[in-house]
Amino acid sequence: MRRRLRYILILLLSLSIITLWWPVNDSDCNFGDLLVSKTKKFQVNATKVIVQPWRGRHHVYGIFMIPNEYKQAPFFVVTVQGAGSYCSKQFGYKKNFNGIFAEPGTYLVQKFVRTRTALRLIFQGLYFQINDKQNWTLTLPEPNTTTATPN
């Protein structure tokens, strides 16, 4: 009986470790080209960062304030130093969230990082790095302005 319990505990521990360290890439878009290209892009650091993965899902995120002219951008890329880059399509525009109010001419975007990714980084000793809002960067492609000027 003890031997069986020991094997079950080893199996559960192994599955937990695999779950935490298994890379996840469920990106909605191809963002590699945007990050390495020399084309103009808009970048902004997070206004506020919440890192509380022990509270469950959706408790590791950054809040970004973006000018209204970027509402039509097809996607955005959030890069968290040490955690990688994540691409999402835009949806919903908020004017206030978690005690932060958008300035006139801007809106707020909230971008989550997976709880297991955050836990892995915390176990690696990077809690203060991912909790620093200067390490969170949101990148948007410049909006297409096709207004031709007559010669």
Whole-angstrom CA distances from 62 to 78, 114, 145 are: 9, 12, 29
pLDDT at 49: 92
The neighbour count for residue 44, using CB atoms within 10 Å, is 18
Q: What is the pLDDT of residues 102-127, one digit of tens each?
A: 889 998 988 888 888 888 888 888 88
Who wins on pLDDT, 133 or 76? Answer: 133
In this structure, the number of other CB atoms found within 10 A of the CB of residue 48 comes to 17
pTM recorded for the entire structure: 0.70
Residue 22 has pLDDT above 70, yes or no: no
Could you report how far apart the first and last alpha carbons of the chain are, in Å? 88
Residue 83: name the closest of 40, 132, 34, 43 by CA: 132
Answer whether residue 134 shows pLDDT above 90. yes
